[in-house]
Chain A
Amino acid sequence: MKKQIYTISIYTENNLGLLNRISSIFLKRHINIESLTASSSEIENVTRLIIVAHLTEEKVKKVIGQIEKQIEVIKAYYHTNEESIYIQSALFKIKSSLLFDERHIQNIIKNSNAQIVTVSPEFFVIEKSGRKEEIEALYDELLPFGIMQFVRSGRISVTKEEMKISELLRKQLN
């Protein structure tokens, strides 16, 4: 079976130690977590974790089974890229002098749909959201000018199909 990128969405109670429990499931099976994001979800007091990993469908099913087995996990899903709408964000910190001296850099920012978040006498910061490849392309373009700092967030993702998690939760509560 072929390995591919899967986005794993986990709805959980917000409890101390649960992240440790979930990451251990990946570690135990020698699966690298490519990115991980924790945030609130559409349901009050329910946390949503989004984990991206490269693995086979057979394995992702087993991982989901192990995740759902954890007491504080309400529900877990996995989706392929085709089934998801997803982005990542990145910040680039660059010398301010370049912004004014190099017209080319202004074009790069414009063409890549990136935004300037802040400008100070010493540096300016560009924010770019999009697919990983788009961020990487911008990175390559900015690299020759000298990137002072770079950081990319984990993936955030929603599914194309409806996820009836709120309904499910209501059922479990009753």
Chain B
Amino acid sequence: MEILAKAKKTTKKEKPLKIKGAEAVVKSLLAEGIDLIYGYPGGAIMPVYDEFYKYQDRLHHVLTRHEQGAIHAAQGYARVSGKVGVAIATSGPGATNLMTGIADAQIDSTPVVCITGQVGSNLLGSDAFQETDIVSMSTTVTKWNYQITKASEIPEVLAKAFYIAKSGRPGPVLIDITKDAQFGELDFEYKKCKKIRSYNPIPEMDITQVLAAAELINKAKKPFIIFGQGVILANAEEELKELIEKADIPAASTLLGLSAIPTGHEFNMGMVGMHGHYAPNVLTNECDVLIAIGMRFDDRVTGNLETYAKQAKVIHFDIDPSEIDKNVKTNVAVLGTVKKTLAALNPLINSNINKKWHQEFKDLRKIEHEVIIHPEINPTKEKLTMGEVINAINKETKGEAIIVSDVGQNQMFASRYANFKQSRSVVTSGGLGTMGFSLPASVGAKLGAPSREVVAIIGDGGFQMTIQELGTIMQTKIPVKIVVLNNEFLGMVRQWQEMFFDKRYASTVMTNPDFVTIVEGYGIKAKRVNKRENLSVAVSKMIASKDSYFLEVIVEKEGNVFPMIPTGATVSDVRLK
């Protein structure tokens, strides 16, 4: 009996496992529930890749064709799944190639962990082969970063990295690991990080602020809600919907807030901002209480701050205290996750129907429909328009698809015209405006939501910035649908040149290759459409395809996105043409 008890005791107090740093990286990832990573190997990260080989049954590595592709894929994955995306690269150019995506994830609050290899710690600072000081370089575009120089640091630092990336307002974390730390041995024991004493991810909700917000909303005659990605990040779609419906408040979305509320919801007034919808932009300067929920008053949303919603009392719900009063002065600030703060607010809200106020939205929406939307999707000109392509996609996907748009006109048409029925249906580079984002992000999006249709909408410019990721799609057979809207121009810049630079088209004309031939070279089914009568059949064939599919649509060369608030103009001075 004694022996048995003794044996029990010894098994209970298991000795920590002695393993190499590189294996500790993999075991840490597995301990965080990561089964999918995106990356590109190279000298300084080879020990970790060697472990990937051994663990390939449990940890799937997607080899992209460029490190930028890896991080954008990780972002796309994170955005649709709500999980942390992981990208991995070698030192030097491998690490610097991640940088654009890291900056993108920082400004769009996307949880990603980047792991980079680094030269041996004895070589640090010696200008060794493929040495860059990636920790310094990435400081201003990461939520946190750290250089590991000892194997023993790996589990604790990676646990911290995942905790920081996903908690509070999410963001990118970069962990740089020297080669000797990957080779070194450690006693492996993994404890998830739950707290960092200097870090308070979710500020405490102040109930007096919630009461003040409720009072303002209940008294409002013309309340208006703008919701952002904070709603999606907090999984607060239901709470937002309840608020809107209970109080009868017209609501509009920021670019990244799109799909938090279905497009067809009767109180969803569309999108605000530079190319947003007419009614919500104009009426931002008419409302008496502006309720901002999980958004950050980006300059593309506000236009001229001096004339932005000056007549309104502003209530700002956000998780990040540094966003309060950053751009727009608030009357009431409610800190915390919007899921919690809206849940506290909703029981205090009364029904507050103002038919006249809703009518104002309806009237302006009618104007926009007549002047812009109807002609865009029912054009009389011979050439196809971007809007009608998006509309054709809507018809096929029934608003169920995830739309991964790139940057520029294609992005604005996709955001304005695509229909969304469920949340997390929009993946796009909002704050940074990274051309080339869409194709690799669509790969990650499909892996993050395998049961959903994923359609990438890209311009001919952005497509060629990360076109090499067709190789990733070919090798992995990830069935994404790729639509290139080809106008043989860098369309958005051209539109600005037309409007503000007297049509001096400096370096915006594109001489393009035969995209269909290129895509077919990658073994991906491809089709080109340039006639209206072939559009719907082509789109239908694309959506029906079980495999990845490429559709190039030749569109009107000089189409413009309207409405538009020119840079620095007043939000209500929306131009319809």
Interface residues of A (CB under 8 A from B): 12-13, 16-17, 20-21, 24, 28, 61-62, 65-66, 68-69, 71-74, 169, 172-173
**Interface positions of B from 73 to 125, Cβ below 8 Å from A:** none
On chain B, the residues within 8 Å of A13 by CB distance are: 197-198
* 13 further interface pairs, Cβ-Cβ under 8 Å (given A21-B139, A65-B324, A72-B199): A13-B197, A13-B198, A17-B139, A17-B146, A62-B325, A65-B321, A65-B326, A68-B321, A69-B322, A71-B196, A71-B198, A72-B198, A173-B197
* Residue interface mask B189-211, A partner, CB < 8 A = 1: 00000001111100000000000
Given A17-B135, A17-B145, A24-B140, verify A74-B198 contact (CB < 8 Å).
Answer: yes
Interface residues of B (CB under 8 A from A): 135-136, 139-140, 143-147, 164, 196-200, 320-322, 324-326
Docked-complex contact B143 and A71, CB < 8 angstroms:
yes
Docked-complex contact B320 and A62, CB < 8 angstroms:
no
A21 to B139, CA, bound (A): 6
Given A17-B145, A69-B320, verify A28-B198 contact (CB < 8 Å).
Answer: no
The 7 tightest CB contacts between A and B, nearest first, are A65-B322, A74-B198, A71-B144, A24-B140, A71-B199, A69-B322, A72-B198
On chain A, the residues within 8 Å of B325 by CB distance are: 61-62
On chain A, the residues within 8 Å of B145 by CB distance are: 17
On chain B, the residues within 8 Å of A12 by CB distance are: 198
Ordered by A's residue number, 14 sampled pairs between the chains whose C-beta atoms are within 8 Å are A12-B198, A13-B197, A17-B135, A17-B139, A21-B140, A62-B325, A68-B321, A69-B320, A69-B322, A71-B143, A71-B144, A71-B198, A73-B198, A172-B198
* Minimal Cβ-Cβ distance residue in A for B325: A61
A17 to B149, CA, bound (A): 14
On chain A, the residues within 8 Å of B143 by CB distance are: 71
Minimum CB–CB distance from B452 to chain A (whole Å) comes to 34
The listed residue with most B CB atoms (<10 A of its CB), out of A12, A16, A62, A65, is A65
On chain B, the residues within 8 Å of A172 by CB distance are: 197-198, 200
Given A74-B198, A173-B197, verify A62-B140 contact (CB < 8 Å).
Answer: no
Minimum CB–CB distance from B262 to chain A (whole Å) comes to 33
A73 to B200, CA, bound (A): 10
A173 to B144, CA, bound (A): 20
Docked-complex contact B197 and A169, CB < 8 angstroms:
yes
Minimum CB–CB distance from A169 to chain B (whole Å) comes to 7
On chain A, the residues within 8 Å of B196 by CB distance are: 71
A16 to B146, CA, bound (A): 8
